[in-house]
Chains A and B, each alone.
Chain A
């Protein structure tokens, strides 16, 4: 009883000392989010959504509320060494949660608006961001403390093939970093847009990073979105991504988690029109003490849509993999087809997997299924390769690569595919 109340006190005093008076814009939304967060509190181990992801524990251990609220733009020059030469052409760079104009170079179609969200709000105070309200506690922390963001507006009928690379850099070489950004994207009718996103950290001080993303995909539009999480720092990252799909639109999302400390991805897809197509893929290849927690929600609100998810995990070391996939099919969303698959390979004694694929269906004329498996490499397949003269380690790497290949194969962008492929195969061949 005592420890419980003690914990509660820590949580409430932590929340009480939030300081967001430093931010002069979006004050109304911040106050609202803060009030909602105060009412909710930090999720503990008993909360269903954060049962396996101890974000609160990590946060209160490494950060005081004052440290969390302090956001410094100052960063070491060498932070730019983290930039990927592969994606130098069309990129936006954030350093410690602030837009960095010097490092960014935008070459997308000039009809497309790409500007810092703060600026966008200043020029248009009625910009409808933060509409797809999140109920995630860390999403609310983000809405309270966000320092900067990016606003992208793709007008009607514009097709931009070239991906926009958004790079979030953190300099944690001497100080703790608390960085919170937003991304607000509207893809107009018949338009098409493509985003690649990555985080990287310099140094080994703890980094707490949240990103709230709202993406509105209008009728007949296409949105492609890829997240690369291969951060070598002590990064705890909570992403809340909400994609609102209108009639006949299509989205493809990819989430690759290869490194980090504690990664939580909340991906919510709202299917709010007929004839939508939604594909999402995930691959987590983890080692060390990485914990990756993928929560996905697909909410089928309208009939005749299709959603498909495939998440695959390879876990080594002491890493933990969590997957929770929810499929909702609302009443009258007839003729919905929704599929979900989660497959995990455990490669060491100390890994754990917690998965919860969840279906909630209120319409009868639907086809929905989910499947999940957990196991280890097929001994017979390994033996087969060895019997053909392939050394065990190579054979193992080959099989693991083939397991991951199912997700890698669906990446459409060649450059991106080669990039991810090289990281994955290098990792697998180095380790095994």
Chain B
């Protein structure tokens, strides 16, 4: 046991790898939130009138709402007037190509291991880099443009493709959906926009990299992905933030819209700053992610690896509206120290012959709390719907907690719904078996955890799977239960 404690100790004192800051000149709004701030953001972004109205409507609605209290997480109440709602790295003009981008910015991303210089990249991944919710660079734009794929920052989409934005913005996550979605709708500063035309299979992984840099700011970005009939896209999202003592708020909205026979695969490797080992600081990650399978035979697949953030509160969901549509949710959520996670999914079966699959693996260590909360709802007209859910929790140490709150609501008798959940620790017999074969304890734990999470990790695109595996190994090294 003393050895375990020692390794645990070692691990908990491990520092967050991406905790540095860069001195970027930034353009910030004054602290606080009011209609004027919403107008200020909208004016800064040179937005059309309709969008400003849309934001104001969301803001007015937000004022009437109450912060949700039902998640199984505890945090001091957030003072929404103490947050900077807009912070943009200063740039003289919109860069035409990478040579015009502030070299400090490029250095920032290089430090993160993300090269924005296209020629240096080995794998074909197009990146939209977002710092403090402002998109700074998007790579491989021309190549994608040839196929008719639009991949750009949200503000650019508002300028260049207002008809698309206007048509789809808020259709999946309405501005009044929940407290944080309403807040985001009022003050979102940028994000990524992606449109795949009919019949196009996107040849490369599209990716957004989020980074919070400035202090006291909140990050509010919005992602909108539209996949026309018979198209396919795989989308990746990653994020980091500097180490700061105060808690920073990240309230993003992601909307996916899949039409007939379209497929969207959305992967997240979330590595926000989780706070230090005493639970001080860290990001509050309150995100609304939802996709709609609007057309028949469409498919949306969410994969997430959640390792960071002080508090995670998110439920990537699928509305299975089209007949024969398919929703998937794969998740690994790891919490350590004082981290808290309340995450899961919602599968709303509306169309006939819809299918969904949920695989959730929670790992809690240290003094963390890890909750799975999910809903499978089979509506009355959803004939022959099928769902399988599996949520497992692994506990490491006797001071952490694992919780499961699955809601299963079935209104159609032809539905076939299965749910199973287990909670356990790494078995002593499993460790013993490895030791017996000459694998030391740490390697054994890594082996077992990797095997435990394999079902989810194998869903990730190769580029991310490597990163995720590394993160997982790093997070759990030595924390033998």
Which residues of B sit under 8 angstroms from A362, Cβ to Cβ? 400-401
In contact, B402 and A359 (Cβ under 8 angstroms): yes
Tell me the nearest residue of chain A to B407, going by C-beta.
Answer: A356
The residue that A352 contacts in the complex, of B410, B417, B418, with Cβ under 8 A, is B410
In contact, B398 and A363 (Cβ under 8 angstroms): yes
In contact, B415 and A369 (Cβ under 8 angstroms): no
Q: Contacts A356-B406, A361-B393; is A374 near B401 (CB within 8 Å)?
A: no
Give the size category of B's interface with A. 20 to 34
Tell me the nearest residue of chain A to B423, going by C-beta.
Answer: A368
Interface membership of B396, Cβ < 8 A:
yes
Q: Which of A351, A359, A365, A369 has the most CB of B within 10 A?
A: A359
In contact, A353 and B409 (Cβ under 8 angstroms): yes
Q: Contacts A362-B401, A369-B420; is A349 near B425 (CB within 8 Å)?
A: no
Once A and B bind, how many residue pairs between them come within 8 Å at the CB atom? 110
Inter-chain CA distance A348–B412, complex, in Å, is: 8
CB distance from B166 to the nearest CB of A (A): 31
Interface membership of A389, Cβ < 8 A:
no
Which residues of A sit under 8 angstroms from B416, Cβ to Cβ? 374-376
Tell me the nearest residue of chain A to B409, going by C-beta.
Answer: A354
Interface membership of B198, Cβ < 8 A:
no
Inter-chain CA distance A243–B408, complex, in Å, is: 27
Interface membership of B395, Cβ < 8 A:
yes
Interface membership of A372, Cβ < 8 A:
yes
In contact, A372 and B399 (Cβ under 8 angstroms): no
Interface membership of A26, Cβ < 8 A:
no
CB distance from B319 to the nearest CB of A (A): 19
* Chain A 323-380 interface residues, beta-carbon cutoff 8 Å to B: 331-332, 334, 344, 346-349, 351-376
Q: Contacts A331-B398, A364-B395, A364-B398; is A356 near B417 (CB within 8 Å)?
A: no
Tell me the nearest residue of chain B to A326, going by C-beta.
Answer: B405
Inter-chain CA distance A256–B393, complex, in Å, is: 32
The residue that A356 contacts in the complex, of B408, B420, B423, B425, with Cβ under 8 A, is B408
In contact, A371 and B419 (Cβ under 8 angstroms): yes
Interface membership of B404, Cβ < 8 A:
yes
In contact, B421 and A351 (Cβ under 8 angstroms): no
In contact, A375 and B415 (Cβ under 8 angstroms): yes
Inter-chain CA distance A364–B423, complex, in Å, is: 9
Q: Contacts A334-B398, A364-B396, A364-B398; is A369 near B422 (CB within 8 Å)?
A: yes
Interface membership of B481, Cβ < 8 A:
yes
Interface membership of B13, Cβ < 8 A:
no
CB distance from B4 to the nearest CB of A (A): 12
In contact, A368 and B413 (Cβ under 8 angstroms): no
In contact, B409 and A352 (Cβ under 8 angstroms): yes
Mask of A39-53 contacts with B, CB within 8 angstroms, 1/0: 000000000100000
CB distance from B86 to the nearest CB of A (A): 33
In contact, A369 and B423 (Cβ under 8 angstroms): yes
CB distance from A25 to the nearest CB of B (A): 40
In contact, B421 and A371 (Cβ under 8 angstroms): yes
Count of residues in A whose CB is under 8 Å from the partner chain:
35
Interface membership of B82, Cβ < 8 A:
no
Which residues of B sit under 8 angstroms from A367, Cβ to Cβ? 422-424
Which residues of A sit under 8 angstroms from B57, Cβ to Cβ? none
Q: Contacts A352-B410, A374-B415, A375-B415; is A358 near B405 (CB within 8 Å)?
A: yes
In contact, A361 and B418 (Cβ under 8 angstroms): no
The residue that B425 contacts in the complex, of A347, A354, A365, A369, with Cβ under 8 A, is A365
The residue that B403 contacts in the complex, of A334, A361, A364, with Cβ under 8 A, is A361
Q: Which of B70, B396, B403, B410 has the most CB of A within 10 A?
A: B410
Interface membership of B197, Cβ < 8 A:
no
Which residues of A sit under 8 angstroms from B417, Cβ to Cβ? 372-375
In contact, B408 and A353 (Cβ under 8 angstroms): yes
CB distance from A364 to the nearest CB of B (A): 4
The residue that B410 contacts in the complex, of A331, A357, A359, A374, with Cβ under 8 A, is A374
Interface membership of B411, Cβ < 8 A:
yes
In contact, B410 and A353 (Cβ under 8 angstroms): yes
Tell me the nearest residue of chain B to A354, going by C-beta.
Answer: B409
Interface membership of B26, Cβ < 8 A:
no
Which residues of A sit under 8 angstroms from B419, Cβ to Cβ? 357, 370-373
Mask of B109-125 contacts with A, CB within 8 angstroms, 1/0: 00000000000000000
In contact, A358 and B418 (Cβ under 8 angstroms): no
Tell me the nearest residue of chain B to A364, going by C-beta.
Answer: B395
In contact, B409 and A346 (Cβ under 8 angstroms): no
Inter-chain CA distance A49–B414, complex, in Å, is: 27
Interface membership of B397, Cβ < 8 A:
yes
CB distance from B69 to the nearest CB of A (A): 11
In contact, B399 and A360 (Cβ under 8 angstroms): no
* Chain B 68-90 interface residues, beta-carbon cutoff 8 Å to A: 70
CB distance from A47 to the nearest CB of B (A): 11
Which residues of B sit under 8 angstroms from A349, Cβ to Cβ? 412-413
Which residues of A sit under 8 angstroms from B407, Cβ to Cβ? 354-356
Tell me the nearest residue of chain B to A377, going by C-beta.
Answer: B413
CB distance from A402 to the nearest CB of B (A): 19
Inter-chain CA distance A363–B410, complex, in Å, is: 32
In contact, A370 and B420 (Cβ under 8 angstroms): yes
In contact, A355 and B408 (Cβ under 8 angstroms): yes
In contact, A359 and B398 (Cβ under 8 angstroms): no
* Chain A 285-333 interface residues, beta-carbon cutoff 8 Å to B: 331-332
Tell me the nearest residue of chain A to B70, going by C-beta.
Answer: A48
Inter-chain CA distance A62–B177, complex, in Å, is: 36
Which residues of A sit under 8 angstroms from B398, Cβ to Cβ? 331-332, 334, 363-365
CB distance from B408 to the nearest CB of A (A): 5
In contact, A348 and B413 (Cβ under 8 angstroms): yes
Tell me the nearest residue of chain A to B400, going by C-beta.
Answer: A364
CB distance from B449 to the nearest CB of A (A): 14
Which residues of B sit under 8 angstroms from A331, Cβ to Cβ? 398-399
Q: Which of B396, B417, B423 has the most CB of A within 10 A?
A: B423
Tell me the nearest residue of chain B to A352, going by C-beta.
Answer: B411
In contact, B423 and A366 (Cβ under 8 angstroms): yes
CB distance from B452 to the nearest CB of A (A): 15
In contact, B395 and A369 (Cβ under 8 angstroms): no
Tell me the nearest residue of chain A to B399, going by C-beta.
Answer: A331
In contact, B408 and A360 (Cβ under 8 angstroms): no
CB distance from A93 to the nearest CB of B (A): 39
CB distance from B153 to the nearest CB of A (A): 40
CB distance from B216 to the nearest CB of A (A): 35
Q: Contacts A361-B393, A374-B417; is A366 near B424 (CB within 8 Å)?
A: yes
Which residues of B sit under 8 angstroms from A344, Cβ to Cβ? 410
**A residues touching B (Cβ–Cβ < 8 Å)?**
48, 331-332, 334, 344, 346-349, 351-376
14 contacts between A and B (CB under 8 A): A346-B415, A349-B413, A352-B411, A353-B409, A354-B407, A357-B406, A358-B405, A359-B403, A359-B421, A361-B393, A363-B398, A370-B404, A370-B421, A371-B418
The 4 closest A-B pairs by CB, nearest first: A346-B413, A364-B395, A371-B420, A369-B422
